[in-house]
Structure 1
Amino acid sequence: MLTFNFTPCPTLSTERLTLRPLTSADAPALFAMRADPEVMQYIPRPLATTVADAAALIEAMNEGMSRNELLNWGIARHTSDEIIGTIGFYRVQPENHRAEIGYLLHPSQQGQGLMQEAVAAALEYGFEVLQLHSVEGVIDPRNEASARVLLRAGFVQEGLFRQNGFWNGQFQDTAYYSLRCPASR
C-alpha cells in the first residue's frame, strides 16, 4: 500500500502554467468558475452561490490534503497569480496505487491546450513522485472536450455506466477512462 504526504502541497511548473496550492485569496476566481453554468455543465455538483461557498470548498480541499485524501492545485498562467482552473487527484486509493484525476478550466482559457499541459504535469507527478500505478478519469460522456483531453493524454475508455447517477432530476451516464503508469505498460 502506498503512503502519501500531500502537505505541503507541491508547486509544479510547465511551459506556460504554474500548478500551486489554493489559498483563501483564490476564492473569488474559484467562485467565478464554480458559479458558471457552462463550466459546471458536466460536473454533478451544485453551482456556487457566493464567494463564501468557494472559500469553504478551498478550506475543505485543503483539509482533505492535510489528511492525505486528495491533492488539489490551482492552475495559473506564469504571467498572473490568478487561477484560471483547478486540477487534482481525488478518490485516492493508496491500497490500489490509484487515484482519479479531475479538472476544470475557465471558458476564456479553453481551446489553447492549457488543460492538456496541466494534465501532463499532474500525471508526471502522480506516476513519478506518488508512484501511482494507474489514474482514472470519470466524466459525463457528453463532455467531449474532457474526453479529448483524456484521450490525448493516453487514457483509454474502460467503460460506460448507463444511468448510474441521479442529478438535477435526471439519471446520468458516466464514462470511465484509465491510464496505467508508463513503466507498467
Structure 2
Amino acid sequence: MSLRPIPVLRGRNVELVPPTAEDDQAVADMRSHPETRRYLPFLPTTFTPDEARQMRENKDADARYLDFRIHYITPSGPVFAGTCGLLHINPENSSAEAGIIVCPEFHRTGLGTESLLLVLNYSFTTLKFHRISFETAHHNVQMRGWLENALGIGLEYRLREAWKSGSGWIDSVGYSILDREWSDLKEKLENRLRRPQLPSGPSVSAAGSI
C-alpha cells in the first residue's frame, strides 16, 4: 500500500489535488466560516493562513493522513472548493476514515458527492482498503441524510458527548462501508451524478482534521 506521492484524482467537475501553499488562505477562510462551524462547532472561530500551513505540513508528514484539496474545474481555471481525504489510516486493519469539508458557496451543488466518489473509489480500488468509516455530528442532518439516503447505509453507532465545542458537548454518529459493498454503492453515486442537474451533496463531514 503506497500513499505517497499523493495522486491527482480527476472527475467530471472536480480535481482532487495534493495540498499546496496556494490554498492555505482559502482553507483558513473555509474552516473559520460560520456556516462550516455550524456543522463542525469544535473548529476555531479564527484560523490563520499560517495555521493552515502548519496543519498542511503536519499532515503531510503523518502517514495516518491522505489529504486532498477539492478544485472545481471552470473554463477560466480551477477554483478552490474544499478539502477531503482519509484520516486514521490503519494499514494493519486495511481501514481509514473519510472526511470532507466543502466551502459554503459550493454546498448543495454535487461537488461533495463527486469528491467523495473519487476518494472512496481510490480507497477501495487502488489502495485495496477493506473498510472506510464516516463520523459526523449527530445534528449534521445533511451529511447523515447523504449517507443514509444517497448511499443507503445504516447508522452503526452513536457516541454520547464525544466532541467538545465552544457551546458544550455534542454527540457523534458513525457509518461504514466495506469493500464488498463498494460496487453497488459506487453505481448509486454515479447514477446521481448523471442527472441533468448536479444533485445535492454533503456540506461537511465531521472529520474536522481534513
What TM-score does the superposition give when structure 1 sets the normalisation length?
A: 0.89
Cα distance in 2 between the residues matched to 1:146 and 1:127: 21
Q: Is the 8 A contact 1:76 1:83 kept in 2?
A: yes
One-letter amino acid of the counterpart of residue 135, structure 1: I
| Residue number in structure 1 paired with 2:91 | 94
Q: Which runs of 5+ in 1 are unaligned?
A: none
Deviation per CA, 1:132-165: give whole Å up to 9, x if none. Answer: 1111100001111111232323433101112233
| Residue number in structure 2 paired with 1:109 | 106
Tell me the SS of whatever aligns to 1:138: strand
| Residue number in structure 2 paired with 1:69 | 64
Q: Which runs of 5+ in 2 are unaligned?
A: 184-210
Decide which of 95, 115, 120 is 2:117's aligned counterpart: 120
Tell me the SS of whatever aligns to 1:26: helix
Moved more, 130-139 or 37-46: 37-46
Aligned residues: 179
Identity of aligned residues (%): 26
Cα offset, 1:5, TM superposition: 2.4
Cα offset, 1:183, TM superposition: 5.8
Q: CA RMSD in A?
A: 1.8
| Residue number in structure 2 paired with 1:78 | 73
One-letter amino acid of the counterpart of residue 52, structure 1: D
Dislocated runs of 4+, deviation >4 Å: none
| Residue number in structure 2 paired with 1:141 | 138
Cα distance in 2 between the residues matched to 1:118 and 1:184: 15
Tell me the SS of whatever aligns to 2:156: strand
What TM-score does the superposition give when structure 2 sets the normalisation length?
A: 0.79
| Residue number in structure 1 paired with 2:165 | 167
Q: Would the alpha carbon gap of residues 155 and 89 (structure 1) be closer, same or farther in structure 2, given more than 3 Å must change?
A: farther
Larger RCO (CA under 8 A, 6+ residues apart): 2
Decide which of 167, 177, 180 is 1:179's aligned counterpart: 177
Cα distance in 2 between the residues matched to 1:169 and 1:177: 25
| Residue number in structure 2 paired with 1:37 | 34
Cα distance in 2 between the residues matched to 1:71 and 1:54: 16
Cα distance in 2 between the residues matched to 1:95 and 1:184: 20
| Residue number in structure 2 paired with 1:52 | 50
Q: Is the 8 A contact 1:18 1:78 kept in 2?
A: yes
| Residue number in structure 1 paired with 2:155 | 157
Q: Is the 8 A contact 2:29 2:47 kept in 1?
A: no
Cα distance in 2 between the residues matched to 1:177 and 1:27: 30
Q: Is the 8 A contact 1:75 1:83 kept in 2?
A: yes
Moved more, 175-184 or 83-92: 175-184
Moved more, 173-182 or 159-168: 159-168
